[in-house]
A and B are shown apart, each in its own frame.
Chain A
């Protein structure tokens, strides 16, 4: 395949939306009217309108995959809808070549009353797969979806996982030149996730892919290009995927600190250190793989607390806990009578690339249920950089050996 095989081309594409429902419907009427008399779309903003996507340009060839990242409402899905031809751009021009496939809405057209088998045909027809093709692939679809004997059961008795798996299995039969994927990867349980990813990888090999996801692991794993959108504008675009992800992480994804609990403990002045570098709440500490990390905080306890303990949890970007430090597990006891400054030192942190957030929970173990005295989520953030990126939250060097035999 040659590089000049450009399948998707977006040139200065913009799209506006309207905030108010009443106005939006009325503009809809007017737009239909304008379309009918052959007038082109209004390029200026009307009252209550805003640009949901502004000036997006990119080119995509076969074999390439562009990742669209950005917070909710950044314009990713709107852009995808324009590329997919569902809505028209208000400015610019989009050119798409070849057969288009979309993994956007799994199981579109499913009717709950009908059986899985019937719904396979319906869903396939919606996606533009012909009946003969489905006939040939029916068994692989059923097998892929792991539906088994349930194939003749109405879909309404399926678990939600089964329904999504069936939808994915049908969509995976597409043989597109251009493929749109919006957050539908990795549905179902772990075993199925891996199957999904392999299937997508297979699909991607021979097509130009536009991929919307909040999972930076998927992005870094699948994409050859990345585009960061913020409020409809392209803030980063390029072939350096890790740099794009970095850009996104450092600027946008930082949830605010939240405090909860019974207030019998007060955590104050949380700081994170690594060597000479330090960051307090709201700032980002930069680490390299294998650096040390210290967490410090002030703690004052109510006099009623008799057996306090601290748990520090490190969450990754997808809010999965990846590290858990519990003071009793380390045999560390906290004096309930005094306020103190607590420090936790972690040596040689072996976390993978990404932004992590620290949650601090103070509990009282004296009553059975372990009352939560105070809990701070997103108390501090740090970002780890590595030279190698992969799926797993933890990277270990280990010791490698080869024995002759």
Chain B
């Protein structure tokens, strides 16, 4: 006789079959794990953030520094006419400060997934826990850094007496959009990045170049062929959109913004699927 408690126990089956053979079960487990990972994700996030700042004397200052430094360089270059940026709708220092902060937010989100997974290798190899937690905690940290960086932007607002409006509030959503876009790219490269260190190295180089082909320190070009940047580079419409919303209250080019956002959301879910499927294989390779 089997006790009734036994029947209520959750049963898990492991086979060599691809999990995609049972799509319904797979989607169910994705959802369940996402829910189950919340508490752990929170713990891991709090752990990493507090550890990061507890051992540092300057603390959050380090979150301000990189965008401030980049902005300063371009403000000097522009004021000395070393480079010619052209006209911007708002004072150039404010413009460039916005751009670099937003770019930094994107880069943080881009780096977060691979960084978190690499840091959790030993845990992944030994303990079974919802793997979404690692990604969510990485995203949480990126959001935390974002909040700190928003402080810079508030200061910029006050100094340049930029008008606050509904667009400013909406720009927060656009910034979240930017975070998700970064996460999407980051998650996309994570499975390969865990196997091959080339990815992490290449990522630094790529983001360095990417910075220059994104309208961060200059307004979106309107003349062909440079105007292609705004079309081919998915970061452009989101970053520019966030900046426009915040500083001018309007989305000047809504179509590319929403096209990129929709594609991004779909791809983000797909990269999540890839990540889930890849983890057991990655664990095998890191511990074998």
Residues of chain A having any CB pair with chain B under 8 Å: 1-2, 4-5, 7, 17-18, 24-25, 28-29, 31-32, 34-41, 43, 52, 81-82, 84-100, 102, 104-105, 108-109, 111, 113-114, 118, 121-122, 125-128, 130-131, 177
> Is residue B39 within 8 Å, beta carbon to beta carbon, of the partner chain?
yes
| B254 contacts partner chain A, Cβ-Cβ < 8 Å | no
- State in angstroms the CA–CA spacing of A94 and B16 once bound together: 10
Is residue B283 within 8 Å, beta carbon to beta carbon, of the partner chain?
A: yes
Q: Point out the residues of chain A lying under 8 angstroms from B47, CB to CB.
A: 109, 111, 114, 118, 122
Question: Measured between C-beta atoms, what is the minimum distance from A174 to chain B in Å?
Answer: 12
Select from chain B the residue with minimum beta-carbon distance to A38. Answer: B20
Q: Among A18, A35, A38, which residue has its beta carbon within 8 angstroms of that of B278?
A: A35
Select B281's contact among A28, A113, A125, A126, beta carbons within 8 Å: A28
Contact A39 B127 (CB under 8 A): no
Cβ of B32 within 8 Å of any chain A Cβ, yes or no, is: no
> Is A105 a contact partner of B127 (Cβ separation < 8 A)?
yes
Known: A24-B288, A36-B277, A121-B43. A105 touches B129 (CB 8 A): no
Quick check: is B227 within 8 A (CB to CB) of the other chain? no
Contacts of B122 in A (CB 8 A): 105, 108
Residues on B facing A (Cβ under 8 Å): 1-3, 6, 9-21, 39-40, 42-44, 47-48, 50-51, 54-55, 122-129, 191-192, 195-196, 274, 277-278, 280-285, 287-288
Q: Which secondary structure characterizes the binding site on chain B?
A: helix
A15 shortest CB reach to chain B, Å: 8
The 9 closest A-B pairs by CB, nearest first: A105-B126, A98-B9, A125-B43, A41-B16, A38-B20, A94-B14, A113-B51, A28-B285, A125-B40
Residues of B within 8 A of A41 (CB): 16-18
Interface-central residue, A34, A84, A90, A125, by most chain B CB under 10 Å:
A125
The reply to whether B281 and A32 form a contact with Cβ atoms under 8 Å apart is: yes
- When the two chains form their complex, are residues A130 and B39 in contact, meaning their CB atoms are under 8 A apart? yes
Q: A81-B287, A90-B16 are in contact. Are A38 and B128 (CB under 8 A)?
A: no
Query: A92 CA to B51 CA in the complex, in Å?
Result: 43
In the complex the two chains form, is A32's CB within 8 Å of B191's CB? yes
Q: Which residues of B contact A126 (CB under 8 A)?
A: 40, 43, 123, 127, 129
A24-B288, A36-B277 given; name 20 further pairs at CB < 8 Å: A2-B1, A2-B3, A4-B2, A5-B3, A28-B195, A32-B274, A32-B277, A32-B278, A35-B278, A89-B16, A93-B13, A94-B15, A104-B126, A109-B47, A109-B123, A113-B51, A121-B43, A125-B43, A126-B127, A127-B129
B14 touches A89 (CB 8 A): yes
- Interface pair B19/A35, CB less than 8 Å apart: yes
Given A38-B18, A38-B20: A108 in contact with B285 (beta carbons within 8 A): no
> What A residues does B9 contact at CB under 8 A?
7, 97-99, 177
